[in-house]
Amino acid sequence: MRNGISHAIDVVEAPASKIDSVDFDNLVFGNVFTDHMMECDYVDGQWQNPTIKPYGPIQLEPSAKVFHYGQAIFEGMKAFKDDEDQVWLFRPEANIDRFNKSSVRLAIPEFPKEMFLEGLETLLNLDRDWIKKGLGNSLYIRPFVIATEPGVSASPSKSYKFMIICSPAKAYYSGEVRVVFAEKFSRAANGGVGYAKAAGNYGAQFYPTNLAKEEGYQQIIWTDANTHEYLEEAGTMNIFFRVGDKLLTAPISDRILDGVTRKSVIALAEENNIPIEVRRVTVKEIVEAAKKGELKEIFGAGTAATINPIKGFGHMGEKYELPEQAESYAKFFKSKLMDIQYNRAEDKFDWRYLVEKK
């Protein structure tokens, strides 16, 4: 409870924990879930009856509108445990703000920030043992909302279900990552929902990403839908390019997700006097920089991956490999971010959020 506000969250504890059955050294991202989850329903025009209960199935009508009209949004967050067993969130209010921004775009009622934080803190305290110490270990947090009203009329739902589930995590990507620049398919268009974390954004990416994987790539860097001349973001990450010693990244728009990690990298670059330009980045300039040997790095930034170096890219049938960097920006930013997230360094930006033990 913060600021003296309480939302009377009902807690039903699991009769026994399944934690001893989990191999924390060999986790597959997003496949194992903690003992509890949060659930809250929007009924009669308000969010009500927030509950934390044992993780398990939910029951929905086959006609629930989420299945027919795609009213579903989500967020990605992480909790970290420091060497003193304190639990920290990283910029949670930015995630909550984006969650509600996504909700508005999909005609879903916004979720109260105070209830969100209080429910999340209660949930994390119940499942505190699932958050393991050590760099690289974290608890991935997935808040989401789905439309639950029965009926197949094409209109916004009148009822919704908000939930938070949690999954212990290590690295999101393993092995080397190579990407292809999109030439035909598009992730988002002007006036669309690209800036929202709408479930459908990701479902629509799977087919072209499968085609890319058949060619030996792990991800796509999406280009603008109108001309395919400008590089925008990757499937689950915002994208950065290092040309010489200068860092480039696309500006946010109604096509590009306002990534929390992205914003943090930009702030860290500015604080450490690394030249950075937030502007439209063309396919042509990146291909030419690669040919001239001026393209030093490409890396993705996102909650799940944190910072993910990209080893090479493909475009128009040509493949380009990137050189190893002794002074890698990707390694620098990842180290800086993780030092803050795990309470190993001063937090000049006030990004850490302590989950008080109850």
Domain residue ranges of the chain, discontinuous segments joined by +: 10-170, 178-341
How high is the pLDDT of residue 92?
98
Binned at pLDDT 50, 70 and 90, residue 358 comes out as: confident
How high is the pLDDT of residue 236?
82
CATH fold of 178-341: D-amino Acid Aminotransferase; Chain A, domain 2 (3.20.10)
| Residue 127 contacts residue 34 (beta carbons within 8 Å) | yes
Domains 10-170 and 178-341 fall in the same CATH topology: no
Per DSSP, the residues of 280-324 read -EEHHHHHHHHHHT-EEEEEEEETTTEEEEE-EEEETTEEEEPPP
Question: Into which CATH architecture does domain 10-170 fall?
Answer: 2-Layer Sandwich (3.30)
Per DSSP, the residues of 72-127 read EEE--EEEEE-TTS-EEEESHHHHHHHHHHHHHHTT-PPPPHHHHHHHHHHHHHHT
How high is the pLDDT of residue 3?
36
Q: Model's pTM, two decimal places?
A: 0.95
| Greatest C-alpha distance within the chain | 62
Per DSSP, the residues of 149-165 read -B--SSS--S-EEEEEE
In a 3-state reduction of DSSP, which class is residue 273? coil
Distance CA 58, CA 111 (A): 20
| Residue 118 contacts residue 11 (beta carbons within 8 Å) | no
Tens digit of each residue's pLDDT (9 = 90 or more) over 263-279: 999 999 999 999 999 99
Nearest to 285 by CA among 158, 181, 173, 167: 181
Q: What are the backbone angles phi and psi of residue 332, rounded to the nearest 5°?
A: -60, -50
The pLDDT of 348-352, averaged and rounded, is 98
Nearest to 238 by CA among 220, 254, 226, 256: 256
Tens digit of each residue's pLDDT (9 = 90 or more) over 12-49: 999 999 999 999 999 999 999 999 999 999 999 999 99
Distance CA 140, CA 144 (A): 13
Q: Say if residue 293 is exposed, middle or buried (CB neighbours under 10 Å; 0-12, 13-18, 19+).
A: exposed
Distance CA 138, CA 116 (A): 20
